[in-house]
Each structure stands twice: as C-alpha cells, then as structure tokens.
Amino acid sequence: MTVGGVNRDDIYEALVGLHHGLDAEQSLLVSNRLILLLAEQIGDRDAVLQAIEAARLPDPVDRKRG
C-alpha cells in the first residue's frame, strides 16, 4: 500500500529482512542500530521525542513512569 509516496509494504518487508537469520541478541543490536540511524536521519528533536512517547508501553500498574 502506498500513501504519500511511502510504500509501507516495501518498508515492512525490508525491516523483517534485517532480522533474517539473527538470534535474539543480534536482532536487538540491529534494531537499536536502526533506531539510532533513523533518529539521526529525522534530526528533529521534537519529532523523535514524539515517536518515543508513542512507542512507550502502557504503564504497568505497579510501576510509575518517570
């Protein structure tokens, strides 16, 4: 599906492909490398912080965030 010039299926496929053949530890490393590269590419502090907020898991009842 393409919206505004972005083909999400292409991107999703490439993201999955990045993990191909990796164990959990390697996957974690490659995900984090990607996150850092993307954050740098975006280069907009507020946009990155907004995405971080959107990604945050809901608060467990017993653990306040902060």
Partner 1 sequence: MTEAPPASLPYAPLPYSPAPELSGGPVRRWPVVIVGGGPVGLAAAIDCSLHGIPALLFDKDDRVSDGSRAICWAKRTLEIFDRLGVARPVVDRGITWKLGKVFHGDQLIYSFDLLPEEGHKHPAFVNLQQYYVESDLVERARQMPGVETRWQSRVVGLSEDGEGVVLEVESPDGGYSVAADWVIACDGARSPLRDMLGLDFVGKVFQDRFLIADVKMAAAFPTERRFWFDPPFHPGGSALLHRQADDVWRIDLQLGWDADPEEERQPEKVIPRLKAMLGEDAKFELEWVSVYTFQCRRLKRFRHGRVIFAGDSAHQVSPFGARGGNGGVQDVDNLIWKLALVIGGEAPDSLLDSYDEERILAADENILNSTRSTDFITPKGPGAQALRDAVLSLSAEHDFARRTVNSGRLSIPAKLTGCGLQTPDDASWAGGVAPGAPCPDAPIEDALARPAWLLDRLGGAFVLMAREEDLASGNVRDAFPGIRDLAVLGIAEAGEALRSDSGVTDVSGLLTERFALSPGSFYLIRPDQHVAARWRSFDPKKVRQALARAKGLDATHLREIA
Residues that bind partner 1 (CB under 8 A): 25, 28-29, 31-33, 35-37, 40
CB of 5 to partner 1, least distance (A): 26
| C-alpha to C-alpha distance for 50 and 65, rounded to whole angstroms | 16
CB of 25 to partner 1, least distance (A): 8
Name the residue nearer to partner 1 (CB basis): 1 or 46. Answer: 46
CB of 32 to partner 1, least distance (A): 3
